[in-house]
Structure 1
Amino acid sequence: MAGLSEAEQQVWEAFPAGMPADLRTGEQEKDTPERGQSWGPERTVRASVLKTLLLERRAAEPGHVARLSLVGARIVGPLDLTDAEIGVTLELTECHFDQEVTVANARTRRLDFSGSSLPGLHARQARIEGDLVLRDCEIPAGIRLAGAQLGGILLLNYARLGASNGYALHAARLVIDHSIYCAHFEAAGGIYLVGARIGGGLHMLEARVTSRERDALEASRTTIHDDCNLVEGCRFDGAIRLVQAHVHGQINLSGAHLDNPDGPAVIADNLRVDQNLYCANLTANAEFRLLGAHIAGDLVLSGAHLNNAGGHALDGGSLVVERGLRCDEGFVADGGLRLIGSQANVFELLPAREITGDIDLRYARFGLLRDDVSSISGTVQLDGSVYDALDPLLSVADRLNWLARQPDGYRPLPYEQLAITYRRLGHDADARRVLLAKQRRRRKTLSLPAKTWGLLQDWTVGYGYLPGRAAMWLLTLLSIGTVLFWFDPPTQIQSGTGFNAFFYTLDVLVPVLKLGQQNAFAPSETTQWFAYLLTIIGWVLATTVATGITRTLTRN
């Protein structure tokens, strides 16, 4: 090709042999993008020359595979390969581009821009058969990959991206056969993966994503067929949004740091994870939201710090965790825990510091609830919650104090559930104490006549849960009556019956008995008032005993 500079001629001749054209000047240190702007003609290549090579394709030399491999060049002019069919590998490494690179709607093989500086990369609807390598790249206007298809990996390790329209990486509906790697990655803008299908995993290590204009990571309705690792050293300033996403492997947020002053740190409504969700030692300085999420394994928050004072540190309404929801081993929550209607085989709430926010477990279902009630100082809502076992079981007094933390007054279901648990474990006496406490708490909500009748039931038979109390009253009154009528016997009004002070007292006291003593003898004037009192007390005792027995039989 006529009119080529010396640098361009070197590229032209290296192409058919598949050899790299290395235009670096031999410095030991890597060239920086700023220095690339001042590179002279010995390192300058026109983008139009590269485009001609790629589109006209010089024939490969015998025994070689043609490819465009250029190192350390300053590339001037727009490299616009829109709609192109590029049948060779394109490697433009440690290069400086003065204009955006465009491969929109193009079909190509492997693209490698490692160590290069690009104003932007536009690859919407591109079909890349191999890898897209952007390792250690500087891309101030970010990357556009919406609708692209990659047959290999997307490598962004050590890359530094700016943003265009708020997004550093816009890859909606991206289809990639393998994984995305973002180790030691920086993005001054959001990552947009809505509707993407990732055949491998999403792996971020020591990455920093800052986005206040957009979500830091928007991956709603995304499918990831392997793991999603956003781990040690990762910092997200902005929300992570995983609404209706499906991760076939596990999600690991262990050691990550999440900030979002404008809303929740994590929004994962209806997220599905086929393995575990690890959040050990996570720091989230905003709400962690998992409404309707389904975790097939464990949700591990051991050592996590969830900070959202005055709000919900964890909002897991209708969350399903098939194994364990673990908030232990250093777990700290500055804010409330809302788990309305959630389910977990094991729920461990063993925080390292006292939880002062509200805990809402209404209509939740747990196989085992393992907790530390001494570390909870806020309200606890348990209406409708179900658990098969408690660890530790604790004393009835401690558990009743736990139930008393409900903020909206008397609720019967928490008492019923606690009694069921005690009974299931063979602690029948403790179960009765819980149900008695339930009736006493209920009595405070009743009208004055109902309170009075409740007090009578409590004093006499403990609402049917203390039958021994009725026997005590009966024996006490029998003893007093026997002594009193012994010293002041009644007057006989029917012949043929001998007087017995004990049976006379029993006949007067128990209304259902007919021993003949009460009809045969009339009390004296001094004991008549006591006989009337015995009759009244007898009817009260009989009524309250019958009420208590009916309640107990109905429950059983």
Structure 2
Amino acid sequence: MLFDNILKIARRLIMSYVLLMKRYMKINFLKLLIIILFIMNTSLCFASQNGTLLLKLAENKFENLTTQEIKLINCTADGKLLDFSSMNTSLNDPLQYEKWGNDRSIRASVIEWLCTDRDAYQFITHLGIQLKGAYISGVIDLLFSNINFPLLFQKCAISDGIILLHSELKSLYLPGSYVRNIIGDGVTVNGNLIMNNGFSSSGELRFLGGKIFGNIQCDGAIFNNENGYAFNADRIEVKGSVFFNDGFKAIGEINLVTAKIENDLSFAGSSLQNENLVVINADRLRVNGNVALSEGFKSNGQIRFLGAEIGGNLQCNDCSFFNNNNDAFLAQGMKVNDNIYFTENFKSIGNIDLLGIVIGGSLEFMNCEITGYLKLSNSFVNEYVLFDSVRIINTANDAIIADGMECNGIIHFKKGNYIYGETRFVGATINGQFICDDVHFFNNNNKSLNLAFINLKNTLVLTDKVAVEGETRLVGAVIDGDISIEGAELRNSSGYSLRADRVSVKGSVFLRQYLLVDGIVSFSSANILGNFAVNNIKQSPYYKLDLRSANVGVLWDSQDSWPSKGNLFLSGFEYNSIRDESSFSSEIRLQWLNRQPNDSNKYQAFDYFARILKDNGYIDDANSIMYNKEVEITKQMPFLEKIFRKLNYYVIGYGYKPWRLMIIISIIVLVGSLVFKFAFRNNLMLQTRHIHLKPKPFFYSVDLFIPIIDLRQSKYWTPITNKIISRKILKNTNFKIHSKFIYYYFCFHIFAGWISTTLLIASLSGLIKIINKSI
């Protein structure tokens, strides 16, 4: 045949030329090898029998086939690659296709004909069309085509794009090529869709509702469609994996809304740019494998996974998100069957919003930094949440928002953590422990660590490497284990450093080991079944302890934990016992009770502590406490009431020292016996009845003074009221004594007796104590 003869002649001429050059010009062996390979490659594209037949069909279709198109037809018929690459590698960049010239140009219509003509199809091998380094002019329009062989366009320039609307391909390979855009709505690719190794585009790559039965590989590609869709695959179904790895770059949005991917989705080492807009939209995405945003991944814009489902892990390792003052990663309602990792120098300038997510495994933040907030509200984590070497900074408001979160494992702030802004776990349910080993919470003068209404099935732990600047809040929390805050620093001089009002603790509360407190500690209305241990507190002048209406099992405190005068609030505070027996001393506890403010609410604490002392057998100490309570009450009384209470104090010691009255009674009786002795001797007493008894001044004084006894003395003699006697006191001085003075004393003696006897009985019976309590 003609082409065979031409081939033989050309090969002989070239070989003769090569031998001549080698003999006389000593050419380099490498150059010789390159020339030989070029000859072999070129010779392969000369017509075979299938090529001749295919060429005839093409000539009937096209009147003016170029040499390049003839080569393509022949190579396609033989299943060979047609390579138009230049020996000068600088001329092989598809983006510089305008410099290539016509000797590398092929019309798109020729490729369309090869793909769609039924007569041509029988001459095309299973290797399909293979083209390298060519410029394809015009749009490759394969609308509604069914192509059963692969298409390979390697380092080609397809400047007018490709149309694959509702077509079916075996596979499409575009490694290193430049394609303006691809319109592939409803396309089906039975193999792989390859756009990698330097592939680039300048418009939208659209595969809406497409089906890919292999992988989509875009490693090292560059998609550029600024402010538009760089890759638009809404509702696409991929039976393999989707890779945007190894230096992949996109300017514009990657749209994977409601896409379904059987295996993995990976953006490892990629860079995405769509400033202030969406870079990845994966809302309602379904991925059965892993999703990787890792290995140097970078994004500028918002990443969205709203309502997405991931069958494996979500890996955000060694990557950076940027969407300043907005959500950098928005994944509300996402479901991840395994784990989520934000680790290995992960950085985000912008919020991480994981509201309502469901995680079948764990959630880890390690060696990462977030500028903005982290939202975990109403989320569910089946295993644990770990914060290790994490910095979260949100100067505007909340740093961590986990309200209503549920976690079956522990929440652990392990080491080197710094949280600037409020950390919120309000109403969260944690089935494990909540442990803060090494973390600095900072939200000065505001709520810093907010665990209000948390339902914690285990223990809350804050260790000696924890510092909280701002309020630590446990209001209404329910904790089945202990609260252990030992050696930490709680600073909020302008308000509450620890507020645990209405907290319910089934275990114990430990505030000790040189815990530094700079502010108010409040357990008002708390219910603690175990110990309430407050020991070795490092205080500031702003330290206050509020235990009003709290109820604890065992009070275990030390004097160095007591705040200064006026800063201890104990009204309504109840406890079943005191652990340290030395603390039962009334002398020590009086110091504790008197640290309360001087108001009417302080005295209930005296009553309750006295009751505890009595229950434990410390009767004298209990009475001492109650006595000192009355002393404190007297100090606060108005002037007139204070006078009567002072009399009460001096006479019977508010009912707790009746021996004082007994001394007074003894003195009055003795004085009375002397007065009446004088009266009897000087005939100042009149016998009222004729009896044979002699008067006994002492018994007369007793009988007259104590109205409830009868010694047969007082009713038989009474003072005379109209007699005056004179007694010489000094040498020339007489002292006149009127019998009325005896009568006046007689009346006083009776009156004093009635009052003293009544007070004594009331004091001994406890009636005075009851009256004091009711006042």
Q: Does the CA-based 8 Å contact 2:652-2:661 persist in structure 1?
A: yes
2:137 corresponding residue in structure 1: none
Find the partner of 1:298 among 470, 482, 487. 482
The CA deviation at 1:127 is: 1.0
Q: Structure 1 residues 285, 49: closer, same or farther in 2, change over 3 A?
A: closer
Shift of 1:125: 0.9
Matches within 5 A, 1:395-474: 395-411=585-601, 412-474=603-665
Q: Distance in 1 between matches of 2:695 and 2:154?
A: 138
Measure how far apart 1:124 and its partner are.
0.9
Q: Is the 8 A contact 1:302 1:329 kept in 2?
A: yes
> How much does 1:432 deviate?
0.9
Alignment deviations for residues 105-155 of structure 1 (CA, whole Å, 9 cap, x no partner): 111121122222233421111111111111111111321110111111111
Partner of 1:101: 280
1:83 aligned residue: 258
User: 1:517 offset after TM fit, Å?
Assistant: 1.1
Aligned with residue 221 of structure 1, among 393, 404, 421: 404
Following superposition, the deviation at residue 163 of structure 1 comes to 4.0
- After superposition, residues 226-245 of structure 1 pair within 5 angstroms as 226-245=409-428
Match of 2:695 among 474, 481, 499: 499
Indicate if the aligned counterparts of 2:387 and 2:417 stay in contact, CA closer than 8 A: yes
In structure 2, what is the Cα distance between the partners aligned to 1:447 and 1:49?
85
Match of 1:274 in 2: 457
Tell me if structure 2 keeps the 8 A contact 1:8–1:49.
Answer: no
Q: For residues 200-227 of structure 1, give each alpha carbon's deviation from its aligned partner in whole angstroms, at most 9, with x where no partner exists.
A: 2211111110012231000111111111
Q: What are structure 1's unaligned runs of at least 5 residues?
A: 24-40, 59-65
Tell me by how many angstroms 1:10 deviates. 8.9
Shift of 1:239: 0.2
What is the CA-CA distance between 1:487 and the residue it aligns to? 5.1
Corresponding residue of 2:292? 112
Q: Secondary structure at the match of 1:393?
A: helix
**In structure 2, C-alpha distance between the alignment counterparts of 1:440 and 1:551, rounded to whole Å:** 14
Deviation string, structure 1 residues 468-523 (Cα, Å, up to 9, x no partner): 33333333333343344445534433221331222211112112223331121224
Cα pair 2:312 2:337 within 8 Å, conserved = yes
1:158 has 2:344 as partner: yes
d(CA) in 2 for partners of 1:329, 1:249: 24
Q: CA deviation at 1:312?
A: 1.3
- Secondary structure of 2:572's partner? coil
Change over 3 Å in CA distance of 1:73–1:465 after alignment to 2? same
Identity %: 19
In the TM superposition, what are the counterparts of 1:12-23 in structure 2 within 5 Å? none
Q: Quote the Cα distance in structure 2 between the aligned partners of 1:471 and 1:536.
A: 16
Give the TM-score of the pair, scaled to structure 1: 0.86
Alpha-carbon distance in 2 for matches of 1:438, 1:350? 26
> Is the Cα contact below 8 Å between 1:410 and 1:441 reproduced in 2?
no
The residue aligned with 1:30 is none
More strand by share: 2
Number of equivalenced pairs:
524
In structure 2, the residue matched to 1:533 is 748
Q: TM-score normalised to the size of structure 2?
A: 0.63
CA distance 1:278–1:10, change in 2 (3 Å): farther
Relative contact order, higher structure (CA 8 A, sep 6+):
1
Deviation at 1:18, TM superposition (A): 13
Q: 1:135-534 counterparts in 2 under 5 A?
A: 135-141=317-323, 142-164=328-350, 167=351, 169-261=352-444, 263-281=446-464, 282-344=466-528, 345-356=530-541, 357-375=543-561, 376-378=563-565, 379-390=567-578, 391=580, 392-393=582-583, 395-411=585-601, 412-486=603-677, 488-489=679-680, 490-496=685-691, 497-523=693-719, 525=739, 527-534=742-749
Question: Offset of 1:287 from its aligned partner?
Answer: 1.0
Residues 299, 254 of structure 1: alpha-carbon distance in 2 compared, 3 angstrom cutoff: same
Which stretch has the larger CA shift, 479-488 or 449-458? 479-488
Task: After superposition, give the CA deviation of every residue in 1:329-363 in whole Å (9 maximum; x if it has no partner).
Answer: 02010111122111222111224423433222110
What is the rounded CA distance, in whole Å, between the counterparts of 1:361 and 1:93 in structure 2? Answer: 55
Distance 1:190 1:331 in 2: 29
Deviation at 1:552, TM superposition (A): 4.8
Residue aligning to 1:34: none
Distance 1:262 1:4 in 2: 63
Counterparts in 2 of 1:54 and 1:17: CA distance versus 1, 3 Å = farther
1:44 counterpart (206, 212, 221): 221
How far off its partner does 1:422 sit? 1.1
SS at 1:98 equivalent: strand
Tell me how far apart the structure 2 counterparts of residues 53 and 290 of structure 1 sit (CA, whole Å).
46
Which deviates more, 391-400 or 412-421?
Answer: 391-400
Q: How far apart are 1:544 and its partner, in Å?
A: 2.2
SS of structure 2 residue aligned to 1:220 = coil
Cα offset, 1:185, TM superposition: 1.5
Q: Secondary structure at 1:207's aligned position in 2?
A: strand
Q: CA–CA distance in 1 between the matches of 2:558 and 2:219?
A: 72
| Deviation, structure 1 residue 251 | 0.6
> For the structure 1 residues 128 and 377, does the alpha-carbon distance in structure 2 shift closer, same or farther, using more than 3 Å as the test?
same
Distance in 1 between residues matched to 2:608 and 2:480, nearest whole Å: 26
* Higher mean displacement: 423-432 or 456-465: 456-465
Greater Rg over alpha carbons, structure: 2
* Residues 431-450 of structure 1: per-residue CA shift (max 9 Å, x gap): 11111122222233444443
Identify if the C-alpha distance between structure 1 residues 76 and 426 changes in structure 2 by more than 3 Å, giving closer, same or farther. same
Whether the aligned pair in 1 keeps the contact of 2:234 and 2:256 (CA below 8 Å) is: no
The alpha-carbon deviation at position 8 of structure 1 amounts to: 5.9
Aligned partners of 1:354 and 1:377 also within 8 Å: no
Confirm or deny that 1:9 pairs with 2:194.
no
CA contact (8 A) 1:457 1:544 kept: no
Gap regions ≥5 residues in structure 2: 1-150, 157-172, 178-189, 199-217, 721-738
Contact 1:363 / 1:386 at 8 angstroms: preserved in 2? yes
Counterparts of 1:475 and 1:53 in 2: how far apart (Å)?
106
Is contact 1:73-1:95 (8 Å) kept?
Answer: yes
Give the Cα–Cα distance (whole angstroms) in 2 for the partners of residues 481 and 200 of structure 1: 89
Q: Summarize the Cα distance change of 1:336–1:178 in structure 2 as closer, same or farther, 3 Å threshold.
A: same
Q: Given that residues 202 and 228 in structure 1 are in contact (C-alpha distance below 8 angstroms), is that contact kept between their aligned partners in structure 2?
A: yes
Cα distance, 1:267–1:42 mapped onto 2, change above 3 Å: closer
Q: Which secondary structure state, in structure 2, belongs to the residue aligned with residue 482 of structure 1?
A: helix
The one-letter code sitting in structure 1 at the alignment partner of 2:340 is L
Task: Say if 1:535 and 1:86 are closer, same or farther in 2 by CA, change over 3 A.
Answer: same
Of the candidates 115, 133, 152, which is equivalent to residue 315 of structure 2?
Answer: 133
Aligned partner of 2:473: which letter? R
Deviation at 1:181, TM superposition (A): 0.4
Q: What amino acid is aligned across from residue 84 of structure 1 in structure 2?
A: A
Alpha-carbon contact 1:358-1:380 (below 8 Å) kept: yes
- CA distance in 1 between counterparts of 2:483 and 2:623 reads 36
CA shift for structure 1 position 156: 0.7
- Equivalences for residues 53-64 of structure 1 within 5 A: 55=236, 57=238
